[in-house]
Amino acid sequence: MCGIIGYTGWREAYPVILKGLKRLEYRGYDSAGVALQNGNLKVYKKAGKVAELENNVIGKDVHSYIGIGHTRWATHGEPCDRNAHPHLSQSGELAMIHNGIIENYVQLKQELVKKGYTFKSDTDTEVLLNFIEEVKKESGCLLEEAVRIALRRVVGAYCILLIHRDDPETIIAARKGSPLVIGIGKGEHFLASDASPIIEYTKEVVYVNDYEIAIVKPDELVLKNLGNDKQTPFITKLNMELAAIEKGGYEHFMLKEIFEQPNTIYDCLRGRLDANVPNIVMSGIDKYAQQIMNAPRIIIVACGTSWHAGLIAEYIIEETCRIPVEVEYASEFRYRNPVVNKGDVIIAVSQSGETADTLVAIENAKEKGAIILGIVNVVGSSIARVSHAGAYTHAGPEIGVASTKAFTAQLAVLTMVALKIGHAKGSLSIERFQALCKELADIPEKVELVLQQNEAIKALAKKYKDARDFLYLGRGYNFPVALEGALKLKEITYIHAEGYAAAEMKHGPIALVDENLPVVFVATKDAYHEKIVSNMQEIKARKGKIIAIITEGDAVIPTLADDVIAVPAADEIVAPMLSVIPLQLLAYYIGIAKDLDVDKPRNLAKSVTVE
């Protein structure tokens, strides 16, 4: 969840690290810090966002050609100066930053306390750092060897970067379960949690694998495994532009990413969907198409917004492919000893491709003989590498913590997979396949039309910004959209919101309804339309305030609702990619009306790489 960056080379390290921390801040913003080496180790760190660190460092000596930096999402220990990274070892010889959780840190700490170590923080990171120092001291080995020995004792997830007081060139890095990418420059190297701080300087990168240690100098990169065997670095070219991680004139990344969706969905479909033939080409799926068609069941594992995309995909796949589908929270699936058989297909959905629970879940399923398909956004990510096959969503970097464009891109990919398999299997007629391909191809243009209602949604947000609670309701394909709308409101505005299946509202949530409760109905025209109108009447009879997302031309719902937002007509299978847009904008503008930091909501981070 935390953001890490390191630099060694010919440039001044601090400006590179500070800029990188700002680009990584979406991964955590409880505190930030840097460690620089210039004849000694200088550590500057501060609770709060990166701007607090920047202000704190003004006027201080930051001259150095090597350094490491960290922006934190707190796990062990409250957000405060002393728990901020980097940490210094007890001797002051080593500085380290860490992303992840060391599960056996208590045992290690007890061993170190018996040997006379004291601790200045509450973090598991300081424990690991001093454990590495103790191994180095006892064995008299090089730092890289001490790291290798220490990590063989560690239980948990980590990505660590270390520098030594007496070494002005070398960064030692290692990872397991938390991402690390190394950028290769001329006489310089960059290390980071993801590529966003690197692309300004180089597009050649190496993705470090689990259980690998990197010894990084300005002119040298050595990779080893925990058995001390050298590994061959595989250099990848980044397909990313600097403009993609900048705001581009928008006030916030979240708004930019909402408005990018016509392009991101188009990019997702481009080269894959030909609605005129019709045909869907997905090379990552073709190889396993026969196994998918014959699969006894499909299990979709995901977390958060990606789980909601999976719920919609369940409806689509069962409708078009006639294959049973289960949708699982990865965090539950990995622990409850699920029944997974050879031939089952597991679809892992993740924006970052690094979600810890999802990664472990598919590794476990893979061991049991399941076929793993990864639907991820980040090229070279861990889930992409663990999967047998899959598809990238091509949504581009998503910097806003609350996922928007990644969600619709996931839906686009999952819909194409379903249509492709349903057509190949014969469970989807050629006429229906052709019609749905055309519907899918039209989505980017229709999203443009929805976005034109931006000002009307902004006005609606001001009207409801002081509400204490919201209820989101939907049926069929729109039920998961209601869940996603409620999640966005909670994430961005800190207003309590609950998503529910509209028909189930009579079994409890209707008790919440009074004249102060806004009820958002996702009610585009589909097979459930008459039923959801009846649900609205039940809310209306109890004086609830109704906000409805409807299909253009609907003459019935506007007579019941207090406020309506209309989206273009679309087949119910693809309609969620339209009906979710007003809910994203509503959450964004309520957050703005409440003067909140919508790009960095409290307590959240973008990529959940810890349990």
Q: Which residues are catalytic?
A: 2, 606
CA-to-CA dists, residue 312 to 42, 327, 519, angstroms? 51, 10, 21
| Closest alpha carbon to 348 in 297, 303, 302, 415 | 302
Read off φ and ψ for residue 333, nearest 5 degrees: -60, -40
Contacts by 74-79 with C-beta closer than 8 Å and gap 24+? 74/28, 74/30, 74/31, 75/1, 75/101, 75/124, 75/610, 76/101, 76/105, 76/122, 76/123, 76/124, 76/125, 77/121, 77/122, 77/123, 78/122, 79/30, 79/31, 79/47, 79/48
Cα–Cα distance, 215 to 224 (Å, whole number) = 8
Cis check: omega of the bond before 518, within 30 degrees of 0? no
Please state, in angstroms and rounded to a whole number, the distance separating the CA atoms of residues 334 and 490. Answer: 26
Spatial neighbors of 376 by CB under 8 A, at least 6 apart, are: 348, 349, 350, 351, 352, 353, 383, 384, 390, 392, 393
272 with 283: CB under 8 angstroms?
Answer: no
Could you tell me where the beta strands, DSSP code E, fall in 12-155? 31-37, 41-47, 66-72, 87-88, 94-102
Classify strands 563-567 and 496-501 as parallel, antiparallel or unpaired: unpaired
What single-letter DSSP state applies at residue 177? B
